[in-house]
Amino acid sequence: MALSSPTPKSANSSAASSNNSSASALRNISFWFAVSALICLLLVDIDISTADPWAELSLMTAGALSPSVWSWPTLLSSLANTFAFALQGVTLAAIAGFTLALGYRFTLVRAFCAFIRSIHELFWALLFMQVAGLSSLTGLLAIAIPYAGTLAKIYGELFEEVDSAPANNLPPSNRRPLSHFFYSVLPLAWRSMATYTSYRFECAIRSSAILGFVGLPTLGFHLETALSDGHYSEAAAFFYALLLLIGTLRLWLHKRLLPIYLVAVFYYLPPQATISWQLLVRFVTEDIVPGPLRGQVLLSSETFNNLSQWFNALWQQQIWPGLVNTVLLGQISLVFTGLLALALLPLNSPLFMGHGRFMDHGRFISHSWKRGIGDSILVLLRTLPEYLLAFIGLLILGPSMLPAILALGIHNGAIIGHLLGRYTEEFNLRADASRGITLYFYEVLPRIYRQFLAFLFYRWEVILRETAILGILGIATLGFYIDSAFETFRFDVALLLILVSAALNISVDQFARYLRQRLQLKTVPESL
Amino acid sequence: MNQSTSQPAPLFQFSDQRLQYQGRTVLDNLSLNIARGERVALIGESGAGKSTVLKALREQCPDQVAWCPQQPGLVPILSTFHNIYMGALDSHSLAYNLINLIKPLPGALNIVQPIAKQLGLEQQLFSSTDKLSGGQQQRTSIGRALIQQRPIFIGDEPVANVDEYQGEVLLQLICQGHETVVLALHDIAQALSTCTRIIGLQDGAIVLDALSEELQASDLAGLYGAS
């Protein structure tokens, strides 16, 4: 035994800085994230500003318990529209995303995909509305474009991940690279692609419903009207329709029936719009061009001065405050999401919701009614779009960042909690493992922590995109200024702000990728 | 039938018992007594039913047994200190356990450090167990059993991943710390030198039960690959 054994204290402190502890890097990053969120929390307004939040809540509860359909044709047509936009959008996105993924090794293609997915579907909708109006084409493109960027990324990463042995075993030749791809790569990635695409379809239904908040004829349109007018029973009917649509997908959206549904949705809601070409040309060549540049001689010093004044004013009044609020709210929501995910994961874990007995291998019996109920709660929370949750939160709690934090945390926390719970199925615990809270902190938390951070960093970009969008509801993030710019027909300002929010999302995505690599976290998402 | 009848009441007792593993009967009509103070080695080919017997033994007096499985089942990112301490979770309050998880407490260190020293793990005390070698992981697993200070040690190949010399030292350590020891072992020499009694299992039946001083290594060779 070595005589120079370090004293406990120095051994402990040196462990934090040495490479021998896998936990220290993860612990440090978690610590700094938590500290940053606490600081952010001091800087933002999280007051409850309504006089009596309980009164509004009880009215809503009463409404939720007595749903009433004000008009069946309206309900059914908005349900059909929601489904149609989602299915059309994801189909187009899958085709475009697949094509883009074929060239995913090119930096330019990757950058293009990152750009189109960094702009939220609501922003795309607001842009297309200016030229194509509240048309079916607007709804289709608003979903298809950002989803194509996301699917391209996932497909591209899946292609890179597949076992390279089959491709290497083909006779070497570069004459038919696509044929090689279809025979040796695509079949291996197909199953994961299908799983992920069907998950994105569920997301697309949420997106489609939310498009109603900016005027498209989906469930969100009627939800917003009913909620704003305080007709909570009517709102409840639309709300349940949305839950039912998402909740029963598995029962009726079979692979074989897909062609029939596709024909049906394109027949029911053909993507069309009456586009005035004059308007389109004006929009592209004038409306979105920064004001000081319109009809001016470029490269003149006067134009340049005007432009820089225009930009400076925008920066001080809108871009900077919007950026700061988006980042603050995003950071708080991210950490809150993480905490909720860790708190919720036992609901979907056989270790906590099982029969309480170990099997021979130390594995738990994975099916139990307790876990069934627990996971249903998570799936329900996950099904609620964060935009809708935030809207309801604002009605109850009044305008502050609190409803947004709660909405983002609940939705995203439930998603991550669900996945982490499922992850615990794989654990081979010893027969003498502890129980309850001790089991959670000593066995489960350390084992899932790496995966947890990987999931959370994946979600970071999504949370930030949503944070920006919640501005449309009146929280002073970038979306608030973008929405105001659209309302006052200052499309040049709107476009600039949209580009700023895109740049922010891309930077955060890059930073999260860097962190994942540095902490050696798993880089391929399962279903996020 | 039971040679060591010096002790009055047996600690473990099976008479004509049927033992199952994942719903399949592995041992039929098992009759076996193990008395306090015995050091028993179970030997036999894999699949002979050793693990099933060990599991049944654990279930007979769960509160007195320190268990050491074949797969250490350590928590990868936690340190050696924490993984050893985990054996003592039940004898401390939840609050104490949680604080100790964030920052090792002096009391816990005082218990764990001597054990780590005995096991030659003091240099690795604050290393994550995923950075340890297979042998170090197995020693950590033994540490988790030692810290429980139970009268009975039951181990399934507890020294399979360390070299012969170290294995000998570790087995001595285990025997010193526990009144009664039951081990599944595949190393015949180790079984003979460590244990006082050898039980040979073959095809779900006890084919040999004798004191080790009465046995030669050649008597046991038949238990492995005799067919």
DSSP A272-289: -----HHHHHHIIIIITS
Among residues A54, A44, A122, A70, the alpha carbon closest in space to that of A395 is found at: A54
Run means of pLDDT, 10 residues per run, chain A, 528 residues: 37 46 86 94 87 90 92 95 96 97 92 94 94 93 96 92 81 77 89 91 95 94 94 95 92 91 94 86 88 79 89 94 95 96 93 62 59 90 92 92 95 94 86 88 92 92 93 92 94 94 93 88 62
- Residues B186-204, mean pLDDT to the nearest whole number: 88
State residue A52 phi and psi, 5-degree precision.
Answer: -140, 85
Count Cβ atoms below 10 Å from residue A356 Cβ, excluding itself.
Answer: 13
Residue ending a domain, choose from B94, B129, B149: B149
| Structural domain includes residue B71 | no
The Cα–Cα gap between B34 and A153 comes to 63
| B98 and B80 in a common domain | yes
pLDDT at A434: 85
pLDDT at A278: 87
- Residues B9-13, mean pLDDT to the nearest whole number: 83
Taking the complete model, does pTM exceed 0.95, yes or no? no
Report the residue from A5, A429, A442 with minimal CB separation from B122.
Answer: A5
Q: In chain A, which residues have their Cβ closer than 8 Å to the Cβ of B127?
A: 15, 20-21
Query: Would the CB atoms of A8 and B76 count as touching at under 8 Å?
Result: no
Among residues A486, A485, A468, the alpha carbon closest in space to that of A477 is found at: A468
The Cα–Cα gap between A139 and A196 comes to 22
The Cα–Cα gap between A317 and A45 comes to 19
Among residues B111, B106, B99, the alpha carbon closest in space to that of A442 is found at: B99
Which residues, in sequence order, are bridge partners of residue A364? A358
| B195 and B169 in a common domain | yes
pLDDT at A109: 95
Angstrom distances, CA of residue A147 to CA of A105, A117, A308, A340, A381: 19, 7, 35, 27, 22
Chain B residues 196-225 within an 8 A CB cutoff of chain A? none
How many Å from the N-terminal Cα to the C-terminal Cα in chain B? 26
| Closest CA in chain A for residue B85 | A442
Overall fold of domain A67-168+177-275: MetI-like fold (1.10.3720)
| Closest CA in chain B for residue A22 | B77
DSSP structure class, residue A444: I
Q: Contact at 8 Å (CB) between A506 and A118?
A: yes
CATH entry, A291-518, from 1.10.3720.10, 1.10.1060.10, 3.40.30.10, 3.20.20.220:
1.10.3720.10
Residue ending a domain, choose from B149, B175, B194: B149
Query: Would the CB atoms of A446 and B124 count as touching at under 8 Å?
Result: no
**For strand B65-68 and strand B39-43, is the pairing parallel, antiparallel, or unpaired?**
unpaired
Beta strand extents in chain B (DSSP E only): 10-21, 24-35, 39-43, 65-68, 152-156, 180-184, 197-202, 205-211
pLDDT in tens, B72-126: 888 888 999 999 999 888 889 999 999 998 899 999 999 999 999 999 999 999 9
Write the single-letter amino acid at B15. S
State residue B206 phi and psi, 5-degree precision.
Answer: -80, 120
Radius of gyration of chain A (CA): 25
Angstrom distances, CA of residue A457 to CA of A332, A417, A516: 14, 14, 7
Q: For residue A33, what are its two tokens?
A: 């994230």
Structure-model confidence comparison of residues B66 and B27, the more confident one = B66
Total count of domains within chain B: 2
Report the residue from B75, B76, B109 with minimal CB separation from A442.
Answer: B75
**For strand B180-184 and strand B39-43, is the pairing parallel, antiparallel, or unpaired?**
parallel
Q: Contact at 8 Å (CB) between B41 and B27?
A: no
Which residues, in sequence order, are bridge partners of residue B168? none
Which residues, in sequence order, are bridge partners of residue B205? B202
Residue B64 at interface with chain A, using a CB cutoff of 8 Å = no
Total CB pairs under 8 A between chain A and B = 90
| B84 and B55 in a common domain | no
Q: In chain B, which residues have their Cβ closer than 8 Å to the Cβ of A14?
A: 126
Query: Would the CB atoms of B78 and A23 count as touching at under 8 Å?
Result: yes
Report the residue from B55, B101, B131 with minimal CB separation from A22.
Answer: B131
| Structural domain includes residue B224 | yes
B84-88 long-range contacts, CB within 8 A, separation 24+: B84/B112, B84/B115, B84/B116, B84/B121, B84/B140, B84/B143, B84/B144, B84/B146, B84/B147, B85/B111, B85/B112, B85/B147, B86/A434, B86/A442, B86/B144, B87/A432, B87/B143, B87/B144, B87/B145, B87/B146, B87/B147, B87/B148, B88/B147, B88/B148
The Cα–Cα gap between A121 and A246 comes to 19
ipTM confidence: 0.80
Task: Report the CATH number that the domain containing residue B204 is assigned in CATH.
Answer: 3.40.50.300
Residue B36 at interface with chain A, using a CB cutoff of 8 Å = no
Chain A interface disruption, residue of B53, B83, B89, B110, most A CBs within 10 A: B89
Q: Contact at 8 Å (CB) between B157 and B186?
A: yes
A317–chain B nearest CA distance, Å: 45
Query: Would the CB atoms of B126 and A20 count as touching at under 8 Å?
Result: yes
Structural domain boundaries in chain A: 67-168+177-275, 291-518
The Cα–Cα gap between B38 and B59 comes to 18
Burial class of residue B6 in the structure, from the number of CB atoms within 10 Å of its CB (0-12 exposed, 13-18 middle, 19+ buried): exposed
Give the position of tokens 């985990």: B86
| Closest CA in chain A for residue B80 | A21
- Which chain A residues have any C-beta within 8 angstroms of a chain B C-beta? 1-2, 5, 8, 11-12, 14-15, 19-23, 26, 359-360, 362, 428-434, 437-438, 441-443, 446-447, 449-450
The Cα–Cα gap between A72 and A77 comes to 8
pLDDT range class, residue B208, cuts 50, 70, 90: confident
pLDDT at A12: 40
Chain A interface disruption, residue of B128, B131, B150, most A CBs within 10 A: B128
**For strand B10-21 and strand B24-35, is the pairing parallel, antiparallel, or unpaired?**
antiparallel
Q: In chain B, which residues have their Cβ closer than 8 Å to the Cβ of A449?
A: 77
Q: Which residues contact B78 (CB under 8 A, 6 or more apart)?
A: A23, A442, A446, B128, B129
| B154 and B56 in a common domain | yes
Indicate the SS3 state at residue B32.
Answer: strand
Residue ending a domain, choose from B125, B149, B173: B149
| Structural domain includes residue B104 | yes
Structure-model confidence comparison of residues B217 and A500, the more confident one = A500
Which residues, in sequence order, are bridge partners of residue B43? B200
Q: In chain A, which residues have their Cβ closer than 8 Å to the Cβ of B104?
A: 8, 12
Q: Give the DSSP H/E element, type plus range, for residue A245.
A: helix A232-247
Q: In chain B, which residues have their Cβ closer than 8 Å to the Cβ of A358?
A: none
Q: Which domain holds residue B131?
A: 76-149
B144–chain A nearest CA distance, Å: 10
Burial class of residue A241 in the structure, from the number of CB atoms within 10 Å of its CB (0-12 exposed, 13-18 middle, 19+ buried): buried
State residue B35 phi and psi, 5-degree precision.
Answer: -100, 160
State residue B182 phi and psi, 5-degree precision.
Answer: -125, 120
Give the position of tokens 């930030």: A464
- Residue A472's region, left for phi above 0, alpha for psi from -120 to 50, else beta, is alpha
| B225 and B163 in a common domain | yes
| Structural domain includes residue B27 | yes
Structure-model confidence comparison of residues B31 and A170, the more confident one = B31
Indicate the SS3 state at residue B222.
Answer: coil
The reply to whether A291-518 shares the fold of A67-168+177-275 is yes
Report the residue from A22, A362, A438 with minimal CB separation from B94.
Answer: A438
| B144 and B87 in a common domain | yes
pLDDT at B22: 75
Residue B78 at interface with chain A, using a CB cutoff of 8 Å = yes
Query: What percent of chain A is helix, strand and coil (3-state, nearest 5)?
Result: 75, 0, 25
B219–chain A nearest CA distance, Å: 32
**For strand B10-21 and strand B39-43, is the pairing parallel, antiparallel, or unpaired?**
unpaired
Whether the per-residue pLDDT at B30 is higher than 80: the answer is yes
Q: Contact at 8 Å (CB) between B16 and B27?
A: no
The Cα–Cα gap between A495 and A40 comes to 28
| Structural domain includes residue B144 | yes
pLDDT at A300: 82
| B187 and B138 in a common domain | no
| Structural domain includes residue B69 | no
| Closest CA in chain A for residue B92 | A438
| B163 and B123 in a common domain | no
State residue B215 phi and psi, 5-degree precision.
Answer: -115, 155
